[in-house]
Each structure stands twice: as structure tokens, then as C-alpha cells.
């Protein structure tokens, strides 16, 4: 795993990993971390119960893997997620 991640990077990776609509491939393209490294980061950074809950949530989830997403879905987040105030 990359040692040059800032605390802000780690926080954003955790946020992206929890988001239903953000595939692991988006994390890899943004931060260079493949799914296996994201799992290791989550295991290291989350409490054990939170990690188990997250793994149960993302395992087999179609939106977390680009190959399983419906054709034509190209975004990594919901259009209303980053609204301007």
C-alpha cells in the first residue's frame, strides 16, 4: 500500500469505500489502491465490528464493482451528492 497517503486521503478513501455508488475501480484510479489494498486499509482503520459490517455490506454489491454495474452507469457518485449551497 502506498505510504504517501495523507490523513485526508485515508479519510476520503474510507468515505468512498462506504459509498454504495463508488466502485473500487474509482478508488484505484484516484488513489492507486486496488480493492485488496482498500480492504486492508479498512481493516486497519476501522473498529473490528465496523469492518465486519462494511465487508458484509460491500461483498457482492453490484455498484461496488464496475464489471457488475449496469451498462451505461459511468458515474462514481450520485448527482445530488455534491450539491453547491
Domain boundaries along the sequence of the chain: 7-67
Give pLDDT tens digits for 5-49. Answer: 999 999 999 999 999 888 999 999 999 999 999 999 999 999 999
Cβ-count burial 45-71 (b if 16+ within 10 Å, e if not): ebeeeeeeebeeebeeeebbebeebee
User: Which pLDDT belongs to residue 51?
Assistant: 97
pLDDT per position as a tens digit, 55-74 = 999 887 777 766 655 565 55
Residue 64: which residues within 8 A CB-CB, separation 6 or more? 20, 22, 23, 24, 58
Q: What is the pTM of this model?
A: 0.73
C-alpha cell at 81: 451528492
CB atoms within 10 A of CB 7: 7
Q: How far apart are CA 64 and CA 77, in angstroms?
A: 11
Amino acid at each position: 500500500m502506498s505510504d504517501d497517503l495523507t490523513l485526508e486521503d485515508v479519510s476520503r478513501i474510507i468515505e468512498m469505500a462506504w459509498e454504495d455508488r463508488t466502485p473500487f475501480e474509482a478508488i484505484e484510479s484516484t488513489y492507486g489502491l486496488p480493492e485488496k489494498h482498500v480492504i486492508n486499509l479498512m481493516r486497519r482503520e476501522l473498529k473490528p465490528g465496523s469492518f465486519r459490517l462494511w465487508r458484509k455490506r460491500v461483498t457482492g454489491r453490484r455498484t461496488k464493482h464496475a464489471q457488475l454495474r449496469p451498462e451505461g452507469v459511468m458515474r462514481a457518485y450520485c448527482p445530488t451528492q455534491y450539491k453547491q449551497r
